[in-house]
Structure 1
Amino acid sequence: MKFTVFLSGFLLVFLLPNWTKCVDTVDIETLARIINFFEENYKRVDEDGHSRQYATAINVPMHQCQQNFSPARNNFLTQENATNVKNAINDETNGLYQGTELIAAGLKKRKNHYLHSESLLLNPAGNSPMTRLLNTRNDGCTVFYTFESPCVDSCLNAARNHNIINALENWKGHSGIKAFVFKNIWKFDIKKRDLNTKFRQIAARIPLYRCVTANQCYACKGEGNAPIDAQCLPPPEI
């Protein structure tokens, strides 16, 4: 945008920022297509055909999160091999894939418990797979997707060692488009009364979305004093 002023015989030209081109949020229709790409290429399924928990994160050129972009194997995450990703995240001795533009995780088995996929990708907060992914492109579009919402008792509990709150705070300072996305609400959290408060911990740092089908995502809101949108919470009990 150009602004011109004539003053005492001098021509002054000011170049002003073109704010109409400033895009800092993901296009929600494109986001739905990106999440569907994850589901088609990396989704974990057990031998009985049941879906299993996994998470992925990307750092891609900004235009790939903007309007009218349609991800496909020939134009999106082309340096990542889907078979390698799935093999890595299904191996519960490690459960982790670290690529060029994509990281992904399933579950990592410990003696008497599992490390959750969100924690595997986001911890330790200052030196995690997500930290290294963010460092690959300073102004890219970063999307974190988890099949099940982060659990209240561990991932969203600041008192627990494997919580993701500090990692989200670090991610908040990254330039470019950001989105934290989930599909289903973790089955053990469906009846938790404080889900609105817990999800707002995410929304206060990173824009939060819920994508339920290949064509439908919802902005969960929750910034400032706003509540989490009802579409991102369990339906009210009847």
Structure 2
Amino acid sequence: MVCPGVLKGLFLFSLISSGVSTQEVDQNTLHKIIQFIDTNYQPPGKNDKGVHLQYAAAINVPADQCGPGFSQDNFLSEDSAKTVKEDLEHKHLYMGSQLVAATPKEPGQTNAVHSERALLMCEYSNDGVTPMQYLQNENKDGCVVFYTYNSPCLKLCLNEAKDKEAKEAMEKKIQLKRRKIPSLVQKCILGSLSVLTDHVGPKAFVFSRVYIEDLESEALKAALKEVADKVPLYKCDANSCVKCLDNGQIIEKCLSETET
């Protein structure tokens, strides 16, 4: 089963190695890659707070392109900025062989689909081949970088408890009717990060800004730690990238708007 609109001709996602890889992307190269993605693919405009619009993008390129000596020559050459931005504007999703990207759908609504979730999960089902799985199936030992402009939100993206509460509420609602419990579509992305955990090539999960509604939250550190335990986590701004996990703790620069 495939997420609608992902790839009609793809019938099976081949499971990648069960061994957890610890390969990481060269940190200086990672900064250049994020700059390249923002320069070419970031949606135009800003929100009412003067912040660039939220989007998420993921790449899967030959592993040597994530090593020292990064070159823009032929990097994501088949993913034109014009095509990507047009797809994000009209469909909220772009699918390429080396790049997938998404913008939020119905932000602020109960049926909202956040951009991170759009890449890591199917919109209407907990099953099927997701855009990230499709992308990784193209090159199972390539360099994978998952980038979200804002850090995943605590309200939905990093909130497993909310998914559990919704499921329990549904079970209580229909248990007297003796009907089959429908499969509620999850909104938390933590479980879906296994596709990155299991990836055998170099990998990174990156954000540029802490989501503004989470800046003062005491829960942010523990939530980001859950992400960092699954995949190398970085914060990248205009100056550089920093690795968020140090000696088992999330560093302060990844919890604030402090420049790296």
- The interval holding the TM-score normalised by the smaller chain is 0.7 to 0.9
Partner Cα separation in structure 1 for residue 209 and residue 108 of structure 2? 27
Helix, strand or coil for the counterpart of 2:250? coil
Deviation at 1:50, TM superposition (A): 4.9
Pair 1:104-2:126 in alignment: no
Shift of 1:171: 2.1
Q: Deviations over 1:2-61 (max 9, x none)?
A: xxxxxxxxxxxxxxxxxxxx9921111000000000111011122788510001000000
1:155, distance to aligned residue in structure 2 (A): 0.5
Return the alpha-carbon distance in structure 1 between the equivalents of residues 66 and 108 of structure 2. Answer: 40
| CA shift in 2, pair 1:52/1:177, >3 Å | same
Does residue 41 of structure 1 match 2:28?
A: no
Letter in 2 for 1:196: K
TM-score, length of structure 1 as denominator length: 0.81
Q: Determine the C-alpha separation between the residues in 1 that align with 2:218 and 2:158.
A: 14
Name the SS of the counterpart of 2:193 in structure 1.
helix
Aligned residues: 208
2:173 match? none
Per-residue deviation, 1:140: 0.3
Match of 2:204 among 165, 174, 179: 179
Identity %: 39
Q: 2:249 aligns with which of 227, 230, 237?
A: 227
> Quick one: distance in 2 between partners of 1:82 and 1:106?
15
- Partner of 1:30 in structure 2? 29
Residue 87 of structure 1 corresponds to: 86
User: Deviation at 1:170?
Assistant: 2.7
Say what the alpha-carbon RMSD is for the aligned residues. 2.3
Counterpart mapping for 1:139-154 below 5 A: 139-154=141-156
Letter matched to residue 108 of structure 1: K
Supply the distance in 1 between the matched residues of 2:63 and 2:153 (Cα, whole angstroms): 29
Structure 2 CA distance for partners of 1:69 and 1:184, relative to 1, 3 Å? same
Q: Does the residue aligned with 1:78 lie in a helix, a strand or coil? A: coil
How far is the alpha carbon of 1:218 from its aligned partner? 0.4
1:172 Cα offset (Å): 0.8
Read off the aligned partner of 2:81 and give its amino acid letter.
Answer: A
Indicate the structure with greater helix content: 2
- Contact 1:150 1:186 (C-alpha < 8 Å) held by counterparts: yes
- Specify whether residues 112 and 134 from structure 1 end up closer, same or farther in structure 2 by C-alpha distance, changes over 3 A only: same
Matched residue, 2:118: 120
More strand by share: 1
Q: Distance in 1 between matches of 2:153 and 2:216?
A: 12
TM, length-normalised to structure 2: 0.74
CA apart distance, 1:111: 9.6
- For structure 2, the 5+ residue unaligned runs are 1-20, 164-185
Give the 3 Å change call, closer, same or farther, for CA 184–75 of structure 1 in structure 2.
same
Which residue number corresponds to residue 214 of structure 2? 189
* Greater relative CO, 1 or 2 (CA 8 Å, sep 6+): 2
User: SS at 2:237's partner residue?
Assistant: strand
| Preserved contact between residue 235 and residue 244 of structure 2 (Cα < 8 Å) | yes
Q: Does structure 1 retain, via aligned residues, the 8 Å contact 2:58–2:145? A: yes
Unaligned runs of 5+ in 1: 1-21
